[in-house]
Chain A
Amino acid sequence: MSGETPMVLLPLGITAASALAVMLAAAVRGPTPRAATGRAAEALSVLGLAAALGSQLAVAGAAPRRVTPLFVFDGVSSILGAVVLASALAVVLLASAYLRRLDEPWEEIYALLLLGTAGALALTSSDHLVGLVLGLETLSVSLYGLVASVRTRGDEALEAAMKYLVLAGAASAFLLFGVALLYASVGTLELPALTAELSAGTPAGSELVTVAGLAFVLVGIGFKLALVPFHLWTPDVYQGAPAPITAFVATVSKGGVVAFLLRLVAAAGAVARPEDGEGLFVVLALLAGASILVGNLLALLQRDVKRLLAYSSIAHLGYLLVALLAGGELGPRAAVFYLIAYAVTILLAFGVVTILSRAEQEAGDLDAYRGLFWRRPILASAMAAAVFSLAGIPLTAGFVAKLYLLLAALDGSRFGLVGILVVGSVLGLYYYLRVVVAMLATPEPETAASEPVGASGGVALAGLGAVLIWIGVAPSAWLRILGIWLGG
């Protein structure tokens, strides 16, 4: 270990330490709700994540460095770590007003959010199957708790958490089995060594085991990313979970997994022999195509905004996978760029949902958005911007990201997937615009109480909106940073 090594571990350390500090705040609080410790937990989380993000950006862009066999800190981990931390920060800021309205203690929610973030952060830099399992489990176990964390949500949240627990457990089992198979056939758990072994040619007879192992690992990852056919849990969990937690599931938990997938695809791509490398790519392409079509089709007539965004996230991860499959120099870049645009957009959308929601009655149904433009023009504009970005309409982040993705896919001659992507985008327009139509409709007589945005929520929304438009209007700077960090 060189002297600088602890620096790259700093973001992870700060995040984990903040989680611990928040736990202590909860311990100080005791069994009854107390405003002071709640505020303290909130402040600790915001500060901790901000500090972690700061240190992440400070160490980003350095030469790739391996810390213990488990982790490698390179361009991918720099960018996606920053995405994870920034998303978590946005979630924490957005959650503030929602959580303060609860009449139950909420410090544990912050602790779990921070723990989950730490897990996702570990995932972004894990270059080892054990690192993958560690990160993924830290993230998942936090999520089980988070989904059920608001008691006032009642049975709905419990049901969602239960489903998530059982299915994620099953998916983890697949993942672990896959890891075991890989180890059995290749004898190593490190991705670089694995790649080297595979490209050197596996011993005869163990090819089947290797490929099967990779496939099972892919099942575990596909579940996390909610790719079809491992997507069925998504709408129920998105709908049942408290709105800010849904935002967390949709962004932070995806960011880390995408990082690992990037490494895995790179490793599998190194196994360039068509007879066993190709099978994996066919599976990924099928997953991508199915996710795009099924996600968009399921969202088509959906009336619940949270479910709608769930289906939309299925489709968007499908888009992202297209970029990954395109390969080449553009492919990974387009995928990372797409993830950034998607995270900003979906956070903005769920941010609006969060602000409009109360734990006991969340702003799920489309009717809650009827006439929002006339009642709360700024919130409605933010929602419209997010929806336009999801639909990929110019001058939003979503458009530039999708354009970049298309260029990458065409560059990689993935014409079939491009066709599916276009069909999916057309389907998407229909249901995204329905949200806008609802917001423009004549307002109902004041039904829902109008919740205040809150200072931190306002800051987060304004920041997300600004970034969304910034990427859409002048993406050059972003693309340049991406090029520098991923170029090496």
Chain B
Amino acid sequence: MTGAAWPLLVHLAVAIGLAAGMMAVSHLLGERHRERATGEPYESGIVGTGELRGRLSINFYVVGLLFVIFDLEAAFLFAWAIVAVEAGWAGYAGMLVFLVLLGVGLVYEWRQGALDWGRTRRAIERALAARESSRRPVTLAGVPFERGTPVGTKGRR
């Protein structure tokens, strides 16, 4: 395989050199200017409103996830239904296990209140009680109401 070594090495060198060279050249030759709109995100000429990192209610995600799961379940069921007879009791048992698993998941979600849209009265009461009892930020389904600090920039050795 030593025959393949040289072309690869050359390829590697050319690839790195090309990328580095392009960046270097544009750094040296490129125009630089700082106007009011330079730093703003480009939205096809439309002035952006608000921040990109706006938060959506967790319920969107939960419902989205549930939809995907049960959609998949349906897809599986269709596939099984076509061969139900050929698959026999073993296939039936397998499908049953799958359904039970999903059922348990659904029961769990339900009991957690993941299917309640918005804050229920009980949730609000709990949140208020929590705010009074401790200085910790109030949360619902795990998400703090206050804006958290961005993640992933802490340099630690």
Contact = CB atoms under 8 A, between A and B. Distances in A.
Contacts of B152: 159, 162-163
Contact of B107 (A24, A159, A162, A239): A24
Contact of A162 (B112, B142, B151): B151
A236 B151 CA distance: 12
B126 A155 contact: no
11 contacts: A23-B105, A24-B108, A27-B110, A30-B111, A31-B112, A31-B123, A158-B148, A159-B154, A162-B152, A211-B1, A236-B156
Contact of A27 (B1, B108, B123, B139): B108
B101 interface: yes
Contact of A208 (B4, B110, B113): B4
B134 to A, nearest CB: 9
A173 interface: no
Closest 6 pairs between A and B when the two form their complex, measured CB to CB: A27-B108, A27-B111, A27-B107, A30-B111, A159-B151, A31-B113
A207 interface: yes
Nearest to A24: B104
B149 interface: yes
Interface in A207-245: 207-208, 211, 235-236, 239
Contacts of A159: 151-152, 154
A32 interface: yes
B139 A151 contact: yes
A208 B157 CA distance: 39
A276 interface: yes
Interface string A288-304: 00000000000000100
A29 interface: yes
A20 B139 contact: no
Contacts of A162: 151-152
* Size bracket, chain B contacts: 20 to 34
B149 A155 contact: yes
Contacts of A276: 1
A213 B4 CA distance: 17
Contact of A155 (B111, B113, B148): B148
B156 A29 contact: no
How many of chain A's residues touch chain B, expressed as a range?
20 to 34
Contact of B108 (A26, A235, A239): A26
A152 B156 CA distance: 21
Contacts of A4: none
B139 A28 contact: no
Given A32-B126, A158-B151, A159-B152, A279 B1 contact: yes
A275 B1 contact: yes
Given A27-B111, A151-B142, A20 B149 contact: no
Nearest to B114: A31
Contacts of B157: 302
A28 B104 CA distance: 11
A279 B8 CA distance: 15
B61 to A, nearest CB: 14
B125 to A, nearest CB: 11
A27 B111 CA distance: 6
Contact of A23 (B104, B126, B148): B104
Task: Pick from A31, A155, A239, A279 the residue with the most CB of B within 10 Å.
Answer: A31
Contacts of A235: 156
A20 B1 contact: no
A30 B112 contact: yes
B151 A155 contact: yes
Contacts of B123: 31
Contacts of B4: 208
Contacts of B149: 155
Interface in B123-151: 123, 126, 139, 142, 148-149, 151
A279 B111 CA distance: 54
Interface string B77-113: 0000000000000000000000001001101101111
B101 A20 contact: yes
Nearest to A28: B111
Nearest to B100: A20
A20 B152 CA distance: 33
A279 B142 CA distance: 48
Contacts of B108: 23-24, 26-27
A20 B107 CA distance: 12
A23 B123 CA distance: 22
Nearest to B141: A31
Interface in A257-303: 275-276, 279, 302
A162 B152 CA distance: 8
Nearest to B136: A152
A19 to B, nearest CB: 10
Contacts of B112: 26-27, 30-31
A207 B3 CA distance: 13
Given A275-B1, A279-B1, A20 B151 contact: no
Contacts of A236: 156
B104 A20 contact: yes
A162 B151 CA distance: 8
B7 to A, nearest CB: 11
A208 B8 CA distance: 12
Contacts of A279: 1
B108 to A, nearest CB: 4
Nearest to B133: A103
Contacts of A27: 104, 107-108, 110-112
A24 B139 CA distance: 24
Contacts of B126: 32
A29 B110 CA distance: 11
A32 B127 CA distance: 12
Contacts of A30: 111-113
Contact of A207 (B1, B111, B113, B139): B1
Interface in B53-86: none
Nearest to B149: A155
